[in-house]
Amino acid sequence: MTGIDIRPSGPGDLASIERIYPDAFPEEDLLPLVRQLLTQEPAVLSLVAGAGHEITGHILFTPCGITGSDTAAALLAPLAVARKYQRQGIGTALIAEGLSRLRLAGVTRVYVLGDPAYYGRSGFEPETAISPPYPLPEQWRDAWQSVSLDTSQPPARGTLLLPEPWMQPALWAP
């Protein structure tokens, strides 16, 4: 899609962001999590994609830690693109911009729980050294992935440490 603009979200974008998630994920209610992350976690990287004056996509990256490590890490989630704008590269562009900003900020690894076919296009690979905060169902094992932003850093081992909004077992189970 040409003419896409990606920028950090601002307080005036919240209403538009809140329209995107139910449109993109009618079976899931991600709005409580999105609101908590946007209003309670100041270090979250929140980006929006726009075409003209319309916001077409949104992505969040939450800074996190790893038990027993000083690795600077982040969790990518959630990511949503309005249904009428899907399959136009907006999600991939949001991921690329977010990873670029995180690399510049010194983050060395980003984790995601999502479709391996989709996130694999952005360099994500199955993750086995770092566990999510809750055990995943076996059918989701391949969905736990990561991408290295700094190959000079040895991979850490441990469990992902996330802020309170992410510490809900329902977010990690079918």
CATH superfamily of 4-164: Gcn5-related N-acetyltransferase (GNAT) (3.40.630.30)
> Quick count: other Cβ atoms within 10 Å of Cβ 13?
18
Per-residue model confidence as pLDDT tens digits over 72-91: 999 999 999 999 999 999 99
Strands (E), the chain: 4-8, 45-51, 54-66, 69-81, 109-113, 125-126, 130-131, 144-148, 158-161
Helix (H) or strand (E) holding 117: helix 116-120
Distance CA 60, CA 62 (A): 6
The answer, yes or no, to whether residue 93 has pLDDT greater than 80, is: yes
* Distances 75 to 82, 104, 114, 120, 162 between C-alpha atoms, Å: 21, 16, 11, 15, 8
Predicted pLDDT of residue 2 = 57
Predicted pLDDT of residue 11 = 87
Q: Predicted confidence band at 160 (pLDDT cuts at 50, 70, 90)? A: very high
Is the pTM for the entire model greater than 0.85?
A: yes
Task: Say what percent of the chain tops pLDDT 70.
Answer: 99
The answer, yes or no, to whether residue 62 has pLDDT greater than 70, is: yes
The answer, yes or no, to whether residue 154 has pLDDT greater than 80, is: no
Where do we find the tokens 């329902």? 170
The answer, yes or no, to whether residue 103 has pLDDT greater than 90, is: yes
Task: Indicate the domain borders of the chain.
Answer: 4-164
Per-residue model confidence as pLDDT tens digits over 114-123: 999 999 999 9
The tokens for 157 are: 């081992």
Task: Say what percent of the chain tops pLDDT 90.
Answer: 78
Closest C-alpha among 152, 144, 161, 169 to residue 69:
161
Strands (E), 9-155: 45-51, 54-66, 69-81, 109-113, 125-126, 130-131, 144-148
